[in-house]
Chain A
Amino acid sequence: MKFLEKIVDKLEPNFEKGGKYEKWYPLFDGFATFLFTPKHTTKKGVHIRDAVDLKRTMNTVITAMIPCLLFGIWNTGYQHYSALGLTEEFGFLDQVFFGALKVLPVVIVSYVVGLGVEFGFCIAKGHPIEEGFLVSGMLIPLIVPADTPLWMVAVATIFSVVFVKEVFGGTGMNILNPALTARAFLFFAYPKQLSGDKAWVNTELPEGYSYAENGKYVLNEIGQRVGEVDAIAGATQLSRFKASVDVMKNTKDELGEAVGAAAQSFEAGVVKLSEKFDLWEAFVGIVPGSIGETSVIAILIGAGLLLHTGVGSLKIMLSGIFGAVFMTIIFNTAGVNPYMTVGPLEHLFAGGFMFGLVFMATDPVSAAQTEVGKVIYGFFIGLFCIMIRVFNPAYPEGMMLAILFMNVMAPLIDHYVIQGNIKQRLNRLKLNTANH
């Protein structure tokens, strides 16, 4: 690599102060430090430094997300063909190919647009290119539906980089998790396209195939009936949970307010609840959902890497699960509507709970920063997630809002934890003065 080193050394004077391309230094620096750990040596303070740096930390997080990405690519294809009943016609490789065609453009758009905005800010403000977006750029594709129009991904990415990160001062200064805010932006700006049962699974027919008999079956090129369309495949588990409550309401309206009928409608809701919900499928992840959030197995592999390297906080993850289970048990005990009877495991495996907890709640910048604070922060994320899921009629998934809410609350939690430390010190001083 000597020749590359020479090139970097040769180019550097052009970009330094007084050089021809002085303004572009952040860009040059970004690329040079991507290729090489720079040759800067310690000047003041410690003479030796730990080998870890922010690039390596962020790289670890991206590595941890790779299982989710790969599984998401396959699952996108699988859900597509499975909804059309064509899994026999189109095997594993076709499914991966279809998924890659859908997912990779989203990843590329997210990175290109996000890094472009980032570079622009770095050059304008003259600060070095920071690594934060490398993680956000991967998180954004993993938490949107595969069919999200690319321009929406681009708009959401620009929004989150500019208004969530750069206006606060860049990496390390943001209050909210940028990737999650991009998702929230999409949700609130384009609710029609990106929620409901139609958003999650692509049901465009492959070339040459056509629908037959009111869209119930799929015909191949020569008119043979090859697949049966799965009418409810597009619904996520969470929307099914939600539907159970609607079923109860509807039955109630039809039957009036007779006591026995109410019990019957509750039963109907519970039946609706168990319809097509398979805990094992949810654990493996062969269910509709955002690209990277479905597979608990893939998420746990990532969580293992984050915990082993110490990059993700075990305190947040465990207390988050504890908070969710705690809330679920309370709901189970109350059991007023069918949704409240959904068990803890179903809640943990459904939707984006695990993905959010492992990859987004643990973002060190927007999470609580004190160790005690992390426990409280994680607990309330779990608790609020379940509460929003069950009580909020507008949106089936509570994880996004729970994390964003706790992002905002995190500095407050830290404030009180730190005040505790300060008070302890004041008390010690008072005690000491009293003794003398």
Chain B
Amino acid sequence: MSVQIKLRKGADIKLQGVASRTKVDAPASDVIALKPSDFHGVIPKLMLREGAKVKAGTPIFFDKENDKIKFSSPVSGEIVEIVRGARRVILEIKIKVDKTEAFEDFGATDVAETSVEDLKAKLLEAGLWPFIKQRPFNCIANPDDLPKAVFVSAFDTSPLAPDYDFLLEGREEDFQLGIDALAKFSKNGYVNLNISVDKELRFNAEDKFSYTDDAGKNIEIDYKTASNISASHGAAKALASLKEKYGKASDLFTKANNVSLGEISGKHPAGNVGIQIHHINPVNKGEVVWTVNAQDVAMIGEFLRTGRYIAKKVIALTGSEVSNPQYYNVTLGQNLEGILEGNLKESEESPRFISGNPLTGTKVEKDGFLGTYDSQVTVLPEGNNYDFFGWAVPIQPNKFSLSRTLWSWLMPSKAYRLNTNMNGEQRAFVVTGEYEKVLPMTIYPVQLLKSCLVEDIDAMEGLGIYEVVPEDLALCEFACTSKQPVQEILQNGLDLVKKECA
């Protein structure tokens, strides 16, 4: 089974600091944190207090709205602090990691033999359920639902996104096990797994990669040089083999069982699972589709195989301010200081640390913690400086625009060092058609946003609010001439619909 989807709208934003394909272990964190704010809409109810000892997989809090959904500690240790904000909202639950690496044992599961109910109960008990999310609303799935489909996207097209073929390398067994389990949850009995068919080896000409030459020496070279030297050279060979290996979706995805393979081509946001659902099996009012991040599928698989909640994942450390962007093996809730310290470039601007990608990620402090669903950490320069007649000068080598009002369109392959400046002030909606250019959906985004602003639920439903979540419109927000907070407006609309209708 496979479907082909060709998307013509969208845009790739090329930034400096693509992670090179090397994986290293992140320095172990002394303290990790669970952030309830990662789970939008969840009202946490604590099950343990400060000072309690926990193992990996010990539930720490549950959702007040649905007490079946529990959230577990990813490590063994002791709860040292519960950080609260305004009106006593729980911001962080900090856990001091001990060296015992003790796990709660839930027992290995034979997926084929276990009933759907038991599978669900097990995932809920061990705190892995929150990795299963649902459309509409992009909230944690309700375990009592029977979704009409389960979708997994095997690639990410957002700026500086990690390469999922590289992230999941060597985890064939766990991934397949996770897919098998998810397929049982779906009404149609399989998982919609979507791969990119026009995947290239995403890198910038200036990015470095290293290879071992004939003499066994490790040599670092940039992609541009490697592409330009003769094919017989070691560097060119190394590059060719890299392209061979990562230039297309890996067998882990293409040879998976129990899946319907979606072959997607197109620019960002083609990798967003929401866009894929829209084209393959759109969500109508009253319908539910579940989605799981590909890495979390493998995590679920590993849990079913071992009976342990092994909260490890691979993240890409990226961005123009990182001196050595690469992949790290981390624990969920990892403190980021370990991988950032000593790994930042000297710069006039102060850095901004983002857990996630530059379009949808969350701003964190340097000693902040990795978000539960994030597979990427990005460091960009802050843009808190004036720009003299910045709106008038057409040639500005460091600025990027999807429109042709600047001359950046002359250099389509250039990778930029973009900062966090707004590049203007917020205005009313004026320019038309620019959102539509970067949103490969049959949805009228501006009209949908306006219906959110006036809180007209009928109009929101009619215009397709059930099919979108903020990340799908993130590129619209980037492109917006009027600097509208698109994702925030949409999130408010979604919250309202959820409150009134669900």
Cα(A173)–Cα(B13), bound, Å: 31
Q: CA separation between A3 and B460, bound complex, in Å?
A: 49
Which among A40, A52, A432 is the interface contact of B481 at CB below 8 angstroms? Answer: A52
Q: State A59–B389 Cα separation when bound (angstroms).
A: 12
The answer to whether A48 touches B380 (Cβ under 8 A) is yes
Contact at B405–A309, with CB atoms within 8 Å?
A: yes
Residues from chain B with a CB closer than 8 A to the CB of A36 are: 386-390
Cβ B423 vs Cβ A46 within 8 A: no
Instruction: Determine whether A51 belongs to the interface, using a CB cutoff of 8 Å to chain B.
Output: yes
Cβ of A57: which chain B residues have Cβ within 8 Å of it?
403, 405, 430-431, 481
The majority secondary structure among interface residues of chain B is: loop
Question: Which residue of A is nearest B384, CB measured?
Answer: A39
B474, A49: Cβ atoms closer than 8 Å:
no
**Which of A137-145, A244-252, A328-336, A422-430 lines the interface with chain B?**
A422-430
| A364 and B481 alpha carbons, distance in the complex (Å) | 12
Tell me the minimal C-beta distance from B463 to chain A in angstroms: 7
**B residues less than 8 Å from A59 (CB atoms):** 391-392
A371 within 8 A of partner (CB): yes
B121 touches A (CB below 8 Å) = no
Is the CB–CB distance between B400 and A50 below 8 Å?
A: yes
Q: Is B335 an interface residue (CB 8 A)?
A: no
Minimum CB–CB distance for A165 against chain B, Å: 11
B462 touches A54 (CB 8 A): no
Output the least CB separation between A131 and chain B (Å): 8
Please judge, given known A-B contacts A56-B392, A421-B463, whether A369 and B446 are in contact too, CB under 8 Å: yes
Q: How far is the CA of A314 from the CA of B464 in the complex (A)?
A: 28
Q: What distance in Å separates the Cβ of A230 from its nearest Cβ neighbour in chain B?
A: 43
Least distance between B327 CB and chain A CB atoms (Å) = 21
In chain B, residues 422-445, which have Cβ atoms closer than 8 Å to a Cβ of chain A?
422-425, 427-434, 436, 442-444
Q: Are A39 and B385 in contact (CB under 8 A)?
A: yes
Q: A51-B406, A422-B462 are in contact. Are A171 and B421 (CB under 8 A)?
A: no
Asked if residues A47 and B363 are in contact (CB atoms below 8 Å), the reply is: yes
**Nearest-Cβ distance from residue B351 to partner chain A, whole angstroms:** 12
Chain A contacts with B in 213-269, Cβ cutoff 8 A? none
Return the contact of B403 from the options A39, A50, A426 (Cβ within 8 A). Answer: A50
A362: min CB distance to chain B, Å: 10
Give the Cβ gap from B428 to chain A, nearest Cβ, in Å. Answer: 3
- Kindly state whether residue A418 has any CB partner on chain B within 8 Å: yes
B408 within 8 A of A: yes
Cβ of A44 and Cβ of B487 under 8 Å apart? yes
Contact at A41–B422, with CB atoms within 8 Å? yes
Q: Using a CB-CB cutoff of 8 Å, which residues 384-422 of chain B contact chain A?
A: 384-392, 396, 399-406, 408, 418-422
A418 to chain B, nearest CB (A): 6
Contact of A51 among B361, B408, B443, B482 (CB under 8 A): B408
Residues of A contacting B427 with CB < 8 Å? 53-54, 130-131, 171-172
Q: How far is the CB of A376 from chain B (nearest CB, A)?
A: 14
A8: interface (CB < 8 Å): yes
Contact of A54 with B478 in the complex, beta carbons under 8 Å: no
B298 within 8 A of A: no
**Cβ of B285 under 8 Å from chain A:** yes
- Residue A108 at the B interface, CB < 8 A? no
Tell me if B337 is interfacial: C-beta within 8 Å of chain A.
Answer: no
Distance between Cα atoms of A177 and B446 in the complex (Å): 20
Closest to A421 in B: B444
Q: Is the CB of A310 within 8 A of B425?
A: no
**CA of A45 to CA of B361 in the docked complex: distance in angstroms?**
8
Interface residues of A in 125-158 (CB under 8 A from B): 128, 130-132
Residue of A with least CB distance to B485: A45
Which residues of the other chain, A, contact B424 by a CB distance below 8 angstroms? 37-38, 49, 52-56
- Tell me which residues across on chain A come within 8 A of B420, comparing CB atoms: 41-42, 47-48
Closest B residue, CB atoms, query A59: B392
Partner of B432, one of A4, A47, A367, A425: A367
In the complex, the answer to whether B482 meets A172 with C-beta atoms within 8 Å is yes
A341 within 8 A of B: no
Chain A residues within an 8 Å CB radius of B405: 52, 56-57, 60, 309-311
Most central of B284, B404, B430, B442 by chain A CB within 10 Å: B430
Residue of A nearest to B11 (CB): A50
A429 to B378, CA, bound (A): 40
Whether B388 contacts A35 by the Cβ 8 Å rule is yes
7 A-B pairs closest in CB distance: A53-B424, A172-B428, A37-B390, A51-B399, A55-B391, A422-B462, A36-B386
Point out residues on A near B: beta carbons under 8 Å: 1, 4-5, 8, 33, 35-42, 44-57, 59-60, 128, 130-132, 169-173, 308-311, 313, 364-365, 367, 369-371, 374, 418, 421-422, 424-426, 428-429, 432
Q: List 20 A-B contacts (CB under 8 A).
A: A1-B386, A36-B387, A46-B360, A48-B380, A50-B401, A50-B403, A53-B391, A53-B481, A54-B430, A54-B482, A57-B481, A172-B429, A313-B432, A364-B431, A364-B433, A418-B447, A418-B463, A421-B443, A425-B284, A425-B464
